[in-house]
Amino acid sequence: MKNVLIVGAGSAGKHVLKEITENGHKYDYNVIGFLDADSSKHGHKIDDYKILDHHDNINEYINKFDINEVIVATTEINHQGLNKIYDNLKVFDKNIEIKVLPTVEELLKGEPYTKQLREVQVEDLLGRESIQINNENINKYINNKRVLVTGAAGSIGSELCRQIVKHDPKKLIILDINENDLYFLKLFLERHYDIEINFEIANIREKSKLEFIFKEYKPDLVYHAAAHKHVPLMEKNIEEAVKNNVFGSKNLLDLADKYQVEKFVLISTDKAVNPTNVMGATKRLSEIILENINKDSKTKYMAVRFGNVLGSNGSVVPLFKSLIKEGKDLTVTHEDVTRYFMTIPEAAQLVLEAGYIGQGGEVFVLDMGEPIKIMDLAEKMIELSGLRVGKDIDIKITGLRPGEKLYEELLYDVNSCQKTENDKIYISQIRREDLDLKSGLREMDKCLDRFDRINLKKQLKKLVKTYKEAEYNN
227 within 8 A of 267, measured Cβ to Cβ: yes
CB-based burial label for 183 (10 Å; 0-12, 13-18, 19+): middle
Integer Cα distance of 61 and 402 in angstroms: 50
* E strand or H helix that includes residue 97: strand 97-100
pLDDT at 471: 67
Domains and CATH numbers, the chain: 2-120 (3.40.50.720), 135-427 (3.40.50.720)
Reduced to 3 states (helix: H, G, I; strand: E, B; else coil), residue 234 is helix
Please give the DSSP secondary-structure letter assigned to residue 393: B
What is the sign, positive or negative, of the torsion defined by CA atoms of 322, 326, 327, 331?
negative
Mean pLDDT of 187-199: 91
Lowest mean pLDDT among 239-253, 313-327, 348-362: 313-327
Compute φ and ψ for 258, nearest 5 degrees: -60, -40
Residue 108, pLDDT score: 44
The pLDDT assigned to 299 comes to 98
Strand partners for 224:
150, 266
In 3-state terms, what secondary structure has residue 396? strand
Residue 473: which pLDDT band, with cuts at 50, 70 and 90?
very low
Sign, CA torsion 437/438/444/448: positive
Q: Per the confidence metrics, is the pTM higher than 0.85?
A: no
DSSP string, 300-342: EEEEEEE-EEET-TT-HHHHHHHHHHTTPPEEES-TT-EE-EE
Residue 64 has pLDDT above 80, yes or no: yes
Helix or strand holding residue 395 (H, E): strand 395-397
Q: How many residues does the chain have?
A: 474
User: Higher model confidence: residue 154 or residue 415?
Assistant: 154
More confident of the two residues 400 and 395:
395
Percent of the chain with pLDDT over 70: 90
The answer to whether residue 271 is catalytic is yes
Beta carbons within 10 angstroms of residue 178's beta carbon: 17
DSSP string, 174-199: EEES-HHHHHHHHHHHHHH--S-EEE
Q: CA-to-CA distance for 221 and 147, rounded, in angstroms?
A: 5
- 187's CB contacts (< 8 A; 6+ apart) are none
User: 1 vs 4, 22, 66, 368, 436, CA distance in Å?
Assistant: 9, 16, 11, 42, 73
DSSP-derived secondary structure letter, 389: B
Mean pLDDT of the chain: 88
Three-class secondary structure of residue 375 per DSSP: helix
* Beta carbons within 10 angstroms of residue 458's beta carbon: 13
Strands (E), 118-183: 118-119, 146-150, 171-176
Return the pLDDT at 280.
96
> What end-to-end distance do the CA atoms of the chain give, in Å?
51
Give φ, ψ of 397 to 5 degrees: -95, 125
The winner for highest mean pLDDT among 70-74, 79-83, 125-129 is 70-74
Degrees to nearest 5, angle at CA 78 with 75 and 79 = 125
User: Which is catalytic among the residues 145, 229, 243, 271?
Assistant: 271
- Judge contact between 354 and 424, C-beta under 8 A: no
Is pLDDT above 90 for 293? yes
Q: Are 386 and 95 in contact (CB under 8 A)?
A: yes
The pLDDT of residue 277 is above 90: yes
Angle between helices 155-164 and 179-192 (to 10 degrees): 20
How many CB atoms are closer than 10 A to CB 260? 12
- Element (DSSP H or E) covering residue 79: helix 79-89
Predicted confidence at residue 474, as pLDDT, reads 46
Instruction: Report how far Cα 327 is from the mean position of its chain's Cα atoms.
Output: 26
Q: Is pLDDT above 60 for 400?
A: yes
β pairing state of 300-306 and 363-366: parallel
How far CA 177 is from CA of 40, 48, 92, 226, 460, in Å, comes to: 58, 60, 49, 9, 26
